[in-house]
């Protein structure tokens, strides 16, 4: 039996038994995002000769967060709702060499995690944030999210959502992240390219991936993936096409000081026996 090429990065079995399948609902975009992320990680490991032990996956709570739990053949942390970036900051202070991938969702980042999100970007800490935006609280039963469009019916907006949605990419860019991109689960190659770039980027890389939640939108995964393609327009062609479509692509790619890099200068002013390079 030939296995899926990325299964070698997952723990199908553990010493105490079966760990798979993933807990995701059939056709959920989050599983695809894990697939794409592992392709990007594999590319960075092989091309940049970075050992598997340097990678660290951190997730909060929600559907996106279940991508870590007990599946990954890497160091991983399935932690507190919204606090991934505070935890990531801690790990980076302990070991600035970590290649950290944060799996988070639109609620985990844009709602409860909002404060930590903007501060991580402001500090430009060296982390790759993979934000799976399905526009709803999936795990808890289809409640409204900060990215739910105005007018949408959800289990907590039965009469239509009256609140404007966040543009998470603009938020990240304004707060100071050095690399910001948005794709959808229907753009596998672009997602892999951006995550690879993010991993190689010094500083905060925020990659938002519009994703389908078939259960709470009462639609099929296939139909939703097609919609994700049709309702988005790549930034380079923005001028020709009209309004109404969501912009995708890489929005900013700056070279800015990374937090640990700057802090290392503070340390270097003192001579440490072992600190002297």
Partner 1 sequence: MSKEMKAHNTNKRLHNVHLLKAGEYYLQGSQACIEGAIMAGCRVYGGYPITPASEIMEYASRRLPQVGGRFIQMEDEIASASLLIGASWGGAKALTATSSPGFSLMQEAISIAIMSETPMVIIDVQRPGPGQGYITASQEDVMQARWGHHGEGSIIALAPSSVQEMFDMTIEAFNLSEQWRTPVLVMAEEPVAHMRERLLIPPWNEIEIIERKKPQDLGIMPEDYLPWGHDIVAPMANWGEGYSVNFVGLVHLEDGNITKYSPQMHYDCIERLLRKIEGNVNEIARIETEFLEGCKNLVICYGCVARTALEAVIEARQEGGLDVGYVRLTTLWPFPHEKLRDIVGNVNTIFVPEMNLGMMKHPITEALRDRSEKIVSIPSLGVLHSPEYILSKIYEEIR
Partner 2 sequence: MNKLWIDERYCKGCLICVDVCPTKAIKASKEINDWGYILPTEHDMNSCKACGLCELMCPDFAIAIEEVNG
Partner 3 sequence: MSRINRYEIRIAGFGGQGVVTIGKILGEAFTLYEGKNSVNTQSYGPESRGGACKSEVVVSDGEIRYPNVRKADVLIALSQVALDAYMADLKEGGILLLDPHSIKHMPDRHRYQVYEVPTMEIAYDVGGVRFQNSVALGALYPLIADIINESSLLRAISENVPAETVEINIEAFKRGMSHVKRDEGT
The contact set with partner 3 (CB under 8 A) reads 23-26, 139, 141, 214-215
Reduced to 3 states, what is the DSSP secondary structure of residue 63?
A: coil
Q: What are phi and psi of 181, to 5 degrees?
A: -145, 155
Nearer to partner 1, 158 or 244 (CB): 158
Binding mask 41-80 for partner 1 (x = CB under 8 A): --------------------x----------------x-x
CB of 30 to partner 3, least distance (A): 12
Give the relative orientation of helices 188-200 and 29-47 as an angle to the nearest 10 degrees: 50
Nearer to partner 1, 156 or 264 (CB): 156
The rounded distance, in Å, linking the Cα atoms of 26 and 16 is: 26
Interface with partner 2 in residues 151-190 (CB under 8 A): 188
Which of partner 2, partner 3, partner 1, none does residue 215 bind to, with CB < 5 to 8 Å depending on kind? partner 3
Nearer to partner 3, 65 or 169 (CB): 65
Taking CB under 8 A as the rule, does residue 151 contact partner 1? no
Nearer to partner 3, 26 or 51 (CB): 26
Residue 244 to residues 168, 229, 231, 238, 241: CA-CA distances in angstroms?
A: 17, 13, 8, 11, 9
Binding mask 187-226 for partner 1 (x = CB under 8 A): ----------------------------------------
Tokens in use for 88?
Answer: 């990531």
Nearer to partner 2, 29 or 249 (CB): 29
Identified binder of partner 1 from the candidate list 95, 156, 241, 262, rule CB under 8 A? 156
Residue 73 to residues 11, 70, 80, 277: CA-CA distances in angstroms?
A: 6, 9, 21, 33
Residue 152 to residues 44, 129, 132, 177: CA-CA distances in angstroms?
A: 39, 27, 19, 30
The rounded distance, in Å, linking the Cα atoms of 113 and 89 is: 14
Tokens in use for 111?
Answer: 């709602």
Taking CB under 8 A as the rule, does residue 70 contact partner 2? no
Tokens in use for 271?
Answer: 């001579």
Taking CB under 8 A as the rule, does residue 28 contact partner 2? yes
Identified binder of partner 2 from the candidate list 13, 15, 16, 26, rule CB under 8 A? 26
Contact 114, 122 (CB under 8 A): no
Longest dimension (CA), the chain: 66
Identified binder of partner 1 from the candidate list 27, 29, 31, 107, rule CB under 8 A? 107
The rounded distance, in Å, linking the Cα atoms of 107 and 105 is: 5
Nearer to partner 1, 69 or 234 (CB): 69
Stretch that binds partner 2, among 3-11, 173-181, 195-203, 253-261 (CB under 8 A): 3-11
Question: What is the CA angle 49-54-60, rounded to 5?
Answer: 135
The distance in angstroms from the start CA to the end CA of the chain is: 51
Number of residues that bind partner 1 (CB under 8 A): 21
Q: What are phi and psi of 64, to 5 degrees?
A: -60, -35
Chain residues binding partner 1 by CB under 8 A are: 61, 78, 80-82, 107, 111-112, 114, 137, 139-141, 143-144, 146, 155-159
Chain residues binding partner 2 by CB under 8 A are: 1-7, 10, 20-22, 24-32, 35-36, 39, 188, 214, 221-222, 225-226
């Amino acid at each position: 039996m030939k296995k899926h090429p990325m299964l070698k990065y997952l723990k199908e079995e553990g010493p105490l038994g079966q760990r798979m399948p993933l807990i995701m609902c059939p056709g959920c975009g989050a599983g695809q995002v894990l697939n794409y992320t592992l392709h990007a990680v594999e590319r960075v490991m092989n091309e940049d000769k970075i050992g598997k032990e340097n990678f660290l996956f951190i997730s909060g709570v929600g559907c996106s967060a279940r991508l870590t739990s007990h599946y990954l053949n890497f160091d991983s942390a399935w932690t507190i709702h919204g606090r991934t970036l505070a935890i990531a900051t801690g790990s980076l202070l302990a070991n600035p060499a970590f290649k950290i991938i944060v799996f988070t969702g639109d609620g985990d980042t844009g709602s409860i995690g909002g404060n930590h999100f903007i501060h991580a970007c402001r500090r430009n800490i060296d982390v790759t944030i993979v934000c799976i935006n399905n526009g709803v609280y999936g795990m808890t039963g289809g409640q409204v999210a900060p990215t739910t469009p105005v007018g949408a019916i959800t289990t907590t907006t039965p009469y239509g959502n009256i609140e404007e949605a966040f543009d998470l990419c603009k938020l990240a860019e304004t707060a100071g992240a050095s690399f910001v991109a948005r794709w959808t689960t229907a753009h596998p190659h672009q997602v892999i390219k951006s995550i690879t770039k993010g991993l190689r980027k010094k500083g905060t890389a925020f990659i938002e991936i519009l994703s389908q939640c078939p259960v709470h939108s009462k639609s099929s995964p296939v139909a939703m993936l097609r919609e994700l393609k049709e309702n988005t327009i790549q930034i380079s062609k923005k001028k020709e096409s009209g309004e109404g479509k969501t912009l995708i692509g890489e929005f900013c790619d700056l070279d800015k000081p990374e937090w640990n890099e700057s802090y290392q200068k503070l340390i270097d002013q003192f001579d440490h026996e072992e600190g002297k390079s």
